[in-house]
Structure 1
């Protein structure tokens, strides 16, 4: 499996890091980055689970309208 890397440029300030927590765990990100992008950069693939069957949900399947 390939490691995800961030593209250079944009509005993300890579000279600084910010600490944040998600689901009780601590991670690092950069100012200007989105939470989803920072989680993916930290290797987090599971964002939640479905209500009925508790199936894993990633970044593209966190909406309640998705199966």
Structure 2
């Protein structure tokens, strides 16, 4: 069964395995304090839980738009 929300260490592992985005759990913790990371919920035990759909959205946004050649990068 696939979990709908992941703990911080699971979220970091998921981002690497599914999207190839390497981010440490400590970096996700910093983003939770200063902003710029994926949205999360505070669980019942105040543990941050990251919805998988939000991790997917954040990873795609972080990777940027698709290009067909290096000359597309300046556009």
| TM-score normalised per structure 2 | 0.26
Return the TM-score normalized by structure 1. Answer: 0.28
Which has the larger strand fraction? 1
Higher helix share: 2
